[in-house]
Structure formats: C-alpha cells, structure tokens
Structure 1
Amino acid sequence: MTFTLAIVGRPNVGKSTLFNRLVGKRLALVDDQPGVTRDLREGEARLGDLRFTVVDTAGLEEATDESLPGRMRKLTERAVEMADVCLFMIDARAGVLGTDEVFADILRRKAKHVILAANKGEGRAADAGMLEAYALGLGEPIRMSAEHGEGLNDLLSFLMPLAGEFEERAAAEAPVTEVDVGEEPDEDEGPRVPTESRPLQVAVIGRPNAGKSTLINKFLGEERLLTGPEAGITRDAISVTMDWHGQGGPVPVRIFDTAGMRKRAKVQEKLEKLSVSDGLRAVKFAEVVVVLLDAAIPFEQQDLRIADLAEREGRAVVVAVNKWDIEDDKNNKIKELRESFERLLPQLRGAPLVTVSARTGRGLDRLQAAVIKAHEVWNRRVSTAKLNKWLVSMIESHPPPAPGGRRIKLRYMTQAKTRPPGFVVMCSNPKDVPESYSRYLINGLRDDFDMPGTPVRLWMRSQSDQNPFKGKTKPGPSKLRKHLGKSRPD
C-alpha cells in the first residue's frame, strides 16, 4: 500500500458502489435508499498498477450535534483528516447542491489532497452537473460512472502523481486492513498458529444493542466504530486488526463487528436482511465466535438461536456477558448464568462464560485469554493410540446397545480432522448406534481430552472388510469351469 484514499460525499451518490469496484468484491452493502453506510470500511484496492487502501465513509450530513447523523459526520471527518487523498463525489444528475458546497469548503480546509468526481455521469442528463462541478473550486472534475466502471482511467491518471509522493513511507506504515472476511478455514489443515498474514479471526455476534461495537472500540482503545444508545446502528460486518497478548507473545487478531440479529419474523426490511446476511457470512468465515449477551436480559430465545448457529457452523464459541458493571448482585447473578448456560445450551457444555464491561473495559483480558484458549482447543489433535485406549475404557464402562440381540462392536477410532475436532469410529451396524450413545462418547471426549465448549463431530462408519461375494448368487459348475479355464472331462 502506498497511500490511503477516502471516498466522501453526500448520501446516495455512489460511494459504496465505487468502493466495491475498486476492491473487486461486493464487500459494502449497496441499496437505493440513502444512508446505508454508517461505519468506516477499509479495503485493499487495485487500480491499474496502483495498490492502495480505500476507505468507504458514511454520507456527509449537515448535522453537527450528538444525534446519529452528527456522530456519523464526525467519523467521516476523522477519516478525511487521516487519509492521504480524498475523493469527493457528487451526483452529476442532481447537480451541485448547497450541501456539496458546504462540504467542499470543509475538504479544502481539512484534506491534504482532494480529487473531485461527478458520479452517475453517463448520458446527456449529467452534462449540466459536470459544468456546475467546476464552481466548487476543486479543480477539474472526473466524469465517472461507478456502476458501469467508467472514468476509472481518469481517476488513475489523477492518482499516479500523488502515489509517488507516498512511496517512501509505504513499506513502513501498514494501515488497519479491512474488510475481506478472509478464506474459509481449511478443515483438513493441522493446528495453525495465527500470523500477520493470516490472523486469528474472531466474530462478535449478538442481539441489537448488546454492546458489540463498544466492546471492539474498547479493544482498540479508540472510537473506531460508530456507537450510541440506538439499537441497530451497525449494518456492515466491519473488521479491524490488532494484536492481543498471549502466553507466547503477541497474537494477531482480526475481529469482526456484526449487525445485531433480531428474530427472523421481525426482519422485514431489505436492508436489515442484507445486514444480517453479512453478519452470518462473517460467522461462517470466523474461527472463534464471541456471543455477546446483555446481563440484564441474558439467554433470551434469540441468544440461544445465535449460539446454536455458531455451534452448527462448527466454530469455537465463547459466551460473554456484557454490562456487568451495572449489575448489583454479582454473586447470585453469575450462579444463575452458569446454571442457565448448562441447561439451555448443552451442546456447548464447558464453553467459556466471561463477564465483561465494554464501557469500562473490565474483563477484557479474561475474554482475550478465553478466545485464544478456545482457538487452541478448536485446533487440537489426539493421537490414534490414545483414542483407541480411551475407546476401550469407555466401552468397558458403558457397552454399546445390542439391537435385536446382536451387540454393536466398536472396533477402532481415529481423528479425521480438526477445526473443529472430528472423529470416526469404525463399527458394525453404524445405523443402529443410538444418538444417546454418540453423545456419551462426545461428552467423554470433551472431559478426557480437555475440549470444553468446542463443537465435536463424531461419525460412525462400517468396516470395509466385508465379504465381496455377499449378496451374489453362487456360480454353477459350468460357469466355474469356464472361469477356471478347464474343459469338460471325457
């Protein structure tokens, strides 16, 4: 990366559309209604031979108070001050509005370099807007269509001279990268140690207004994500990269802030459906999922569904109870939480339950340690010799059932994969093994091999040394003599 380009402008001028085109992926949510983007979203952009960081920002509003539009504007102005180049987009079909003139004046004062782009510039309807753009005093505008990819060559010609100014610091400064959720975990790989190129991927999910964005901001030590008392502020699955302190040194982590997930029946608007879908995608590509609960109303039906979703996806799960600082009777409350957890989520028995306060930062060190530990367990591999010795002791303690009077024989066992741990048991009549006996083995694996909370997969397979002639008719004498190459005796 040689520089950072921030795309700014009024709502609904096509900033997210251009962002998606520059990064080559549909990362930012796009819809016809204005104000879809609220947080800052960064990505690795490619334009010709240039490689740079592009930042999608919220639409600039004239509000300056502590309302949601006002907080969105402050976040965008912060991106303007931090970026090396600002691409100011206007709507060529709507022309220059009074709001554009106000923000052009702000950019002249705050931005280091400003490039003016008149988007939606295809067709004659945009001619008048192109001429009006000169009055903003930001130089010659670029006629562009982000939807159809027009004007990108002109943008490249504007950026090339500026890129040379930032080449010397390109190698030294690595910005916080965003927001590609990365590669899906390869379930057949062995244990993986997080690195700078492939950090530990953590998704924070929960109901709206549980404090997910506030929690991540506290991890970062800055107001990077938009927060507030309103529920449902976050729409995109935004990721940020940081280092956590593990036992062996710093652990690179990419943590995802997701949109709050309400009950499916309440999700009616198209935009909210897109937001929830983006959050589910982040869960699918995460390695550890932090299910964030509200201490005042923990373990509601939606919380249970969210936790069950993470388990079904095969991700390591850590349950965090937020807003612990305002809880009065902490001792009795933690007992109630643990009892409810064991009773309502038996499929996650033994998973870490951590109390935190995203507002004060209390408990964040324990949450970090729990996430790193859950990732290690998720990658755990057990030798075949230990597994078979363990299997013998489990069978002696509780033999498998005997449907129809014939005992099911469990012959041997091996671990087929990690992430999450998956085991195969070779046995006779695998279809007759009841679910209760499989749960007995899974619970034993968790207890005896220290795999609390992580999803464990267990498959029953039949022996492959069956009689190959089973079910076939016995050959007659003539076919047998023909097969052996012998003629009829005289």
Structure 2
Amino acid sequence: MTAIEKPTVIIIGRPNVGKSTLFNRLVGKKLALVDDQPGVTRDRRMGDAEIAGLEFTIVDTAGWEDEDPDSLPGRMRKQTEVSLEGADAALFVVDARAGLTPLDEEIGRWLRGQDVPVVLVCNKAEGKAAEPGILESYSLGLGEPLGISAEHGEGIADLFTGLWPIIGAKAEAAEAAAELEAEMDDEDLSGPLKLAIVGRPNAGKSTLINRLLGEDRLLTGPEAGITRDSIAVDYEWHDPKTNETREIRLIDTAGMRKRAKVTEKLEKLSVADARRAIDFAEVVILLLDATKGLEHQDLKIAAHALEEGRALMVAINKWDIAENASSLFNGIREALNEGLSQVRGVPLFAVSAKTGKGLDTMLSAAFEIREAWSRRVPTAALNRWFDDALAANPPPAPGGRRIKLRYITQASVRPPRFVVFGTRLDDLPKSYERYLVNGIRAKLGFDAVPVRVVLKSPKNPYDSNRGGGGKFSGGEGRD
C-alpha cells in the first residue's frame, strides 16, 4: 500500500446536468468553467473538496456522450471511463427537472457493472417540478437518490450521508497522516538528553552521577535517603564511538521505597518529586543494587516509567562486588521479561559507579533508545507492514461477522503512538491487539520502546452520539 492519500470521488453524468457546478460548489471556488452550452468540460479537473469536515479529492469529468470512440466526444468519454479506475466513489449526476434520458440509463447500466460504489445525485432538485424526476431515478437501480441544487447549495450536506459510509475511514486516516507529515520536523534530537536515574534507596544513583561528572557534585554516603530533591545537572559527555561531545541533563532522584514504608511527610514529597522527574525525562535508567538483585519494588518503578511512556533502561550497579555475576545477570533478565511483559527486552547493563565500568556503553545506548522513542515511520512503510501483518494473521470473525482493519497511521512520537482505523473494533480480542503491538516493535525498529496503539472507528459528525469510538492497547496506560 502506498502512502495514505485522501479518497478520490469522481463526478459522472451526461452533458449539462450540472457536474461542473457541483464541482465548483464542493471545492468552494469557480475552478471549472460553467455554461448552458453542453460539452464545456473536456479534460478531467481535480480539486480539494470538503463537506462537514469530510475531506476528499473531487474529479470533474467530461459529459458522457454516445459518440464514435474516435471522435472528440468519444475520446472525452474514454477519459471519463479511465478516470473511474482507482476512484473510491462516484457521484452519478442526473437532471431531476429533465427526468431520465436513454443516455442516463446507459450510464447507469455501465456503472452497475463497475466495482466503484456509486451515489446517485439528482441535481436541479429545487421546487416541486423536480419530484417526478427524483422518483423516476429509482429505476436506475443505484439506491436512494439524493436531491440537491448545486447552483443554490441546497442538499449538499446530504452528500455527506451518501459518501461517509464509503470514504469516511480513509478520509480520517488521510487527515491524520497529513497532520503527521506537517509535524515531521517538530521533534529535535539535537538538544540535551534528559536522563533520569531512579531506583530504590542506596542503589548508588548519586554516586553514579558523581562518577560521570568527575567530582563530588552530589552528597553521597551509606545512609539511605540522602537525596530528597530531584537534582538536574548539565553534563557534557565525550562519546568514544563518534569522538563527539554530547549534552546530557542528568536527573538524580530520591530513592523510591515501598509505599507502606513511606511514612514521613518529607519522604512522601521526595518520592512524588521523583515521579515527576520521570514524567519530564526522555530516558529513564532504573538502577539496581547487584548485592540485592531485582525486587518487586524495582518492577513497580519500571512499570511507572513505562506507563508514563518513557524509554526505559535497567543498569545493575556495584558490579565490581557482584557474586555469581553471570547467573545474577541472566536471572534479572528473565525476571524483567516476566515482570514487564508489556515491553520485553528492556536494555540491561552491568555497571559500576565506583570504577566507571560500563558507563560509556550505557550512555551510548541511552541516545540510541531516545532516537527509537522519537522515531516516525513513513506512512508507506507503516502500511506495507500493516498489510503484511493482516495477511499473515487476519483478524477473527466472531459470530461470523468480519472485523475490518482498514488503515494505520502514527499519531505521535515520544512515545510512539499509532491509530488503527476499522469497524467492529470493540470485538477485537486483546490477543490480536498484542499481536499488532509486538509486530510494530519487532518489525519497525521500536524494540523495547513503549508503544501505544489506539483502535478507532469512523465517526459521523451528524451522529448525536458521535465521538468516534476507540479503545487503547499497548499496556502503557491511556493518554
């Protein structure tokens, strides 16, 4: 699938039924020449149209005439036939005052044999004189006709009712994609990396930052809970890989103990401050104590960072004094995968704040994960993956009714957020939502980054209960 474009709607009809007048009405300006003389329009003309927020590309075509294929009118008819290829919908316009003609009936028969959905439009329908022509048009077998007056703007809103079920989902996806393209350059990765160090008390957070800075910038000691405020320190790090100097804003936070153990008011404020630091960070490093391993409180801290949509890394500190190092590392890796099942494969590092072991590797990975956290997937590549994912594992059909997933678009970054458009989404199993989330991570380069997926059904602006419908999946919390 190519990049999502606005749906295309083609106007078809015999000469002088008001096709160009309708075209001008929908685009909001006089782009097409209009005259009582038939055959004024010879070439296809395209414009951007909108009805009640429904945006699409409208195509005006030459009047359909029953002439020799080699004549000028015959070649114009061929152009009209070709223009229907690839269209999402057709507006078949007849003259309600004149009633049906044999040429109208011929066009109707041809359209019934095509794959493009048709909306039957009775133009010039103002006044009672048009009623017989509207009733007669039912005989075309193209559904209920919509009576409008393109010249006076009457009944144009009714076109929304006819077009929305056909092109609404694609129009919404195209609108979202266009907004994203306009914001492609908004996220600046040239600024300092906002890196928060979090963990239980006495894991060595302040010691690690002091090691990076090369000075005793933060107070440390054997007593737990020395750090009370979240301290931000600007740091210039020399990247040994690129031989470049990169800016980092290091954020030291208070140790976060189990809620039941936090009794003093000051400590409660400190923990709340640490949680706010997570909210403002780009990458969060959960620091573990190698002498204590991974505890349930560590998993709760990690889960909070993921719920806030932060990019998460885990570092095992005090590696220089770790016992049974290989077994410890593998045990923590397994526990993380089990305890953080919503984001498997969180980057894990062995470091020593005392000796400096592994710190450069950890910081280099922090920049890489921020890049993934900020990544936008081109619409074309995203929908190619989406088509492949649906082909490999189609959505189920509960009760024999198909769940249709139509389009996907990336709504935002930091964290990556995707919107899937479709119908009957309330019946989509959680297991299939997890299948999509895992596929996005595995195939589109997001790996351990928290990914959010929102399922959205088309919304009808004329529906009194509108709101579009939609549900969230991904395991990291709701926006």
**Common fold, TM-score beyond 0.5?**
yes
* Letter of the 2:219 counterpart: L
Evaluate the alpha carbon distance shift between residue 469 and residue 266 of structure 1 in structure 2; reply closer, same or farther with a 3 A threshold: closer
Match of 2:456 in 1: 461
Evaluate the alpha carbon distance shift between residue 339 and residue 358 of structure 1 in structure 2; reply closer, same or farther with a 3 A threshold: same
Match of 1:220 in 2: 213
Tell me which of 239, 244, 248 is aligned to 2:237.
244
Evaluate the alpha carbon distance shift between residue 188 and residue 351 of structure 1 in structure 2; reply closer, same or farther with a 3 A threshold: farther
Q: Distance in 2 between matches of 1:469 and 1:241?
A: 52
Match of 1:205 in 2: 198
Q: Distance in 2 between matches of 1:237 and 1:469?
A: 48
Match of 2:437 in 1: 442
Counting only pairs closer than 5 Å after superposition, residues 250-269 of structure 1 correspond to structure 2 as 250-269=245-264
* Letter of the 2:381 counterpart: K
Aligned length: 282
Tell me which of 415, 426, 429 is aligned to 1:431.
426
Q: Distance in 2 between matches of 1:266 and 1:330?
A: 30
Match of 1:192 in 2: 188
Contact residue 188 and residue 418 of structure 1 kept, 8 A:
no
- Runs ≥4 residues deviating over 6 A: 465-471
SS in 1 for 2:342: helix
Match of 1:235 in 2: 228
Deviation at 1:463, TM superposition (A): 2.6
Q: Distance in 2 between matches of 1:231 and 1:337?
A: 23
Match of 1:310 in 2: 305
- Give 5+ residue unaligned stretches, structure 2: 1-182, 467-479
* Letter of the 1:208 counterpart: P
Q: Distance in 2 between matches of 1:315 and 1:366?
A: 20
Contact residue 336 and residue 346 of structure 2 kept, 8 A:
no
Q: Distance in 1 between matches of 2:287 and 2:236?
A: 21
Question: What CA RMSD, in Å, does the superposition of the two structures yield over aligned residues?
Answer: 2.2
Deviation at 1:298, TM superposition (A): 2.4
Q: Flag the structure with larger Rg.
A: 2
Match of 2:159 in 1: none
SS in 2 for 1:194: coil
Q: Distance in 1 between matches of 2:447 and 2:464?
A: 45
Match of 1:363 in 2: 358
Normalising by structure 1, report the TM-score: 0.55
Match of 1:283 in 2: 278
Deviation at 1:273, TM superposition (A): 0.8
* Letter of the 2:200 counterpart: R
Tell me which of 324, 327, 336 is aligned to 1:332.
327
Deviation at 1:469, TM superposition (A): 11
Evaluate the alpha carbon distance shift between residue 360 and residue 430 of structure 1 in structure 2; reply closer, same or farther with a 3 A threshold: same
Contact residue 410 and residue 426 of structure 1 kept, 8 A:
yes
* Letter of the 1:242 counterpart: Y
SS in 1 for 2:272: helix
Contact residue 319 and residue 353 of structure 1 kept, 8 A:
yes
Match of 2:376 in 1: 381
Tell me which of 341, 345, 348 is aligned to 2:340.
345
* Letter of the 1:216 counterpart: I
SS in 1 for 2:402: coil
Deviations 1:41-80 (A, max 9, x none): xxxxxxxxxxxxxxxxxxxxxxxxxxxxxxxxxxxxxxxx
Deviation at 1:310, TM superposition (A): 0.2
Deviations 1:436-477 (A, max 9, x none): 211111111111111121110100011347997999xxxxxx
SS in 1 for 2:327: helix
Deviation at 1:331, TM superposition (A): 2.2
SS in 2 for 1:317: strand
Match of 2:60 in 1: none
Contact residue 293 and residue 322 of structure 1 kept, 8 A:
yes
* Letter of the 2:234 counterpart: T
SS in 2 for 1:243: strand
Q: Distance in 1 between matches of 2:462 and 2:228?
A: 59
